[in-house]
Amino acid sequence: MSQPVLGAPLDRVEGPGKVTGRIAYTADNDIPGMVHAVVVESTIANGRIAAIDESAARSAPGVIAIMTPRNAPRVDARKVDANDSLLFLLQGDAVEFDRQPVAVAIAETFEQATYAARLVRVRYDVRPPTTALASGERFLPDQIFGKPAQHKRGMPEDAFARAAVTLKQTYRTPTEHHNPMETHATIAQWTGDRLTIYDATQWVFGVQHRLAATFGIDPKAIRVVAPFVGGAFGCKGQTWSHVPLAAMAARLAGRPVKLVVTRPQMFGWVGHRPQTEQVVGLGAARDGTLAAVTHDVLSETSMSDEFVEPSVVFSRDLYAVPNYAMSDTLSRLNISKPTYQRGPGESTGSFAMESAMDELSYALGIDPLELRLRNYSANDPDSGKPYSSKRLRECYAAAAAQFGWSARNPKVRSTSRGRMLVGSGMATASRATHRSPCTVRMRMNADGNVLVQCGTIEQGTGTPTVYPQLAAEILEIPPERVRFEFGNTDLPAAPIAAGSQTSGSVGSAVVVAARRMRELLVSHDGKPPADGFEVELEDSPPPEEAEHATQAFGAHFAEVEVDPDLGTVRVTRFVGAFDGGRILNAKTARSQMLGGIVWGISMALFEDTRYDARSGRIMNANLSEYLVPTNADIPDVEVILIAGDDPFANPAGAKGIGEVGICGSAAAVANAVYHATGIRIRDLPITPDKLIR
């Protein structure tokens, strides 16, 4: 190769297939003899099923069966491990949340199943629901991802008492629901006691093991296929109720079954970002040096299960503050169990912490960027470990220069453009990245072409493009000679494609395998034998990797225009600079950062799931009323990638970049709104009614 390919902005090899519709997502697959299932969801949020009348539905055209708690196969809905969710599989009559599955209609066509589902009549014994965060039963969880729900370092109470300047404010983020382009979908087919599942999932092996436990069969008897995933962002990380329901329906019908979750049902049983109430306290010296930080979070969970939104990790792991205290409290509500949503914890926690830092900067008369630089941490402030790499200063400098931050008038409500108030705000981005064991199989044929196999998935991040680039660079061959096979449980095991870990996990396994393949080539004078070479290995993080803290970093700078009469907000400029370690493909990396920023703008200005307090029903369970930005709402976003390897993080030298873009971006917009208007919004989203005074 004359030019290095690693990091080059190569086009996605799967791109043409996606834009022309040739690539099949789960619901695009058809199996001979397949029928369709549609979930009947509850219309109450708390109570019990008193009776189900399915007589009209059963006599409707094309109907094969109506599956209810009376005739549903008996299965095990319990959790396999602590990170799983309890499943709602028609095993009882209790109803805990709006849109909980209560029956399934099975018919020859999707339209017939949909019609039959509407004919199912359910009578309930209704009890008043609880959906307000302040009204739920509060408790401290046993742990948050292996760490205590309360934590302290130093003496924060004493430090606050001595601090020259203190600030304590409450910040709120609403319930938000995932809305990837592809909704959930599952196809289930039994062949004797063997089960084949096509599923829109971030982890085929997780689905395999959960279904094995649910049906009491050997995991090896289950094959899970995820050809392509049309966006996930956390909601497809777990096995939700519709997956075993599809398999149960297939067993009941004796035929393959396709079950597609509708858009309104995406607001039902498949998780969401929980609402939070965060109290942040800052104590500082007159020069802005932080002496103490406290961060107390109240977030929602379901009646029978537990999920913690770890908002505190952002404040805990970013700034150099010697005295720190946090707590995470849960409130039980009549809602479905929350789950991970892009940047879980840091996305919500960064809004609170970075808003508070902005408030402190105005209280002290210190530039918001300068305040952050004065509290820059060279090591992880909680563990004391050195970072595997940290180029946050470079992010600040590059983004500020591109944005023109130094020309900003620091006075609030000082800048206008015509009749519009103009404001600029900034915030820090930070997100821990992880690595898990991963197995790959790599084969080089006699002609020099290479096949790499791994059971990871492609959810829009460029999997079949990026990992061939990585292998090609090491093997010194063109990337078009490397093919990446992925997306089913017949392939070597991969971790869940979530948690900003996929590049570090799968990428590192590819690196180690390619290096071994190169050694084999060298031993054969650079020519593979007639039957080729094959390498299969599991790569796991060695103990020495734990000696460093690995985080991706970034800096957000936003400009907004606010109509002083109407209270409308438009983001007019946005610049983000990011340290993601070694960039494997500049084009796909930019897309990840851009997508995160867009979602942060959406958090700041649009997204808000609304419950009816009387019924507990979600009132905007559709994309006409659950607002997300359109192209017209987003300006030209400038993304700057700060180049640099990270040899201490993992063999690939890469840090996870799928989530860092959303962390802090909502706060940058909120801070810009304050600069424009002098009105501090601490309760997202920022809507016109909150700005008209």
The average pLDDT across 371-393 equals 96
Residues 6+ apart with CB under 8 A from 631: none
| Tokens coding 373 | 């630089």
Listed residues 518, 540, 562: the one ending a domain: 540
297 and 260 together in one domain: no
Instruction: Indicate whether 377 pLDDT > 60.
Output: yes
Co-location of 336 and 359 in the same domain: yes
**Are 381 and 525 in the same domain?**
no
Asked whether residue 9 is domain-assigned, the answer is: no
Q: How far apart are CA 441 and CA 455, in angstroms?
A: 10
Task: In whole angstroms, give the CA distance from residue 330 to residue 47.
Answer: 22
Residue 84 vs residue 246, higher pLDDT:
246
568, 689 Cβ separation under 8 angstroms = no
Confidence (pTM): 0.96
Tell me: do 322 and 454 sit in the same domain.
Answer: no
- Strand-pair partners of 278: 171, 297
Q: How many residues does the chain have?
A: 693
pLDDT of 82: 84
353 φ, ψ (degrees, to nearest 5):
-70, -45
- Packing angle, helices 665-677 and 346-364, rounded to 10: 30
Q: Residue 83: pLDDT band by 50, 70, 90 thresholds?
A: confident
**Residue range 291-307: average pLDDT?**
97
Give residue 212's pLDDT.
98
CB 456 within 8 A of CB 506: yes
Examine the domain organization and report whether 385 and 283 are in the same domain.
yes
Distance CA 476, CA 470 (A): 10
397: domain range? 150-175+272-433+547-691
Domain boundary among 540, 561, 578: 540
Name the CA dihedral angle for 4, 6, 7, 13, rounded to a multiple of 10 degrees. Answer: 110
The reply to whether 49 and 193 lie within a common domain is yes
Token pair 């990011």 is found at: 578
The DSSP code for 100 is -
Would you state the pLDDT for residue 2?
45
Let me know the angle formed at the C-alpha of 84 by 80 and 87, rounded to the nearest 5 degrees: 85
Is there a domain that residue 142 lies in?
no
CATH number of domain containing 321: 3.30.365.10
The pLDDT of 308-332, averaged and rounded, is 96
Among the listed residues 396, 387, 375, 384, the one whose alpha carbon sits nearest the alpha carbon of residue 283: 375
Query: Tokens 């995160």 label which residue?
Result: 596
pLDDT reported for residue 81: 87
In a domain, 407, yes or no: yes
Residue 103 bridge partners (DSSP): 40
Rounded to whole angstroms, how far apart are CA atoms 382 and 488? 39
Q: What's the pLDDT score for residue 515?
A: 97
Q: Is residue 6 one of the residues assigned to a domain?
A: no
- The residues near 524 (Cβ < 8 Å, ≥ 6 apart) are none
3-state SS string for 79-95: CCCCCCCCCCCCCCCEE
User: Is pLDDT at 525 greater than 80 in this prediction?
Assistant: yes
Do both 504 and 571 map to the same domain? no
In a domain, 616, yes or no: yes
In this prediction, residue 103 carries a pLDDT of 98
Say whether pLDDT at 635 is over 60.
Answer: yes
Residues 342 and 479 in one domain: no
Residue 140 lies in a domain: no
Q: Looking at the structure, do residues 100 and 200 belong to the same domain, yes or no? A: yes
Q: Is residue 3 one of the residues assigned to a domain?
A: no
Query: Which pairs count as long-range contacts for 680-684, CB under 8 Å and 24+ apart, including other chains?
Result: 680/355, 680/359, 682/169, 682/170, 682/171, 682/172, 682/355, 683/171, 683/172, 684/172, 684/173, 684/174, 684/351, 684/603, 684/604, 684/608
pLDDT tens track for 93-113: 999 999 999 999 999 999 999
Q: What percent of the chain has pLDDT over 90?
A: 96
Looking at the fold, whether 115 and 205 belong to one and the same domain comes out as yes
Average per-residue pLDDT for the chain:
96
335 and 287 within one domain: yes
Percent helix / strand / coil, the chain, rounded to 5? 30, 25, 45
In a domain, 145, yes or no: no
Instruction: List residues with catalytic annotation.
Output: 659
pLDDT, position 219: 98
Same domain, yes or no, for 611 and 634? Answer: yes
- Cα within 13 Å of Cα(67), Cβ side: 30
The last residue of one of the domains, among 245, 267, 289, is: 267
Which CATH number fits the domain that encloses residue 44? 3.90.1170.50
> pLDDT value at position 3?
55
**Domains in the chain, number:** 3
Whether 643 shows a pLDDT value over 90: the answer reads no
549-607 per-position pLDDT tens digit: 999 999 999 999 999 999 999 999 999 999 999 999 999 999 999 999 999 999 999 99
Question: Does the pLDDT value for residue 4 go beyond 80?
Answer: no
pLDDT on residue 1: 45
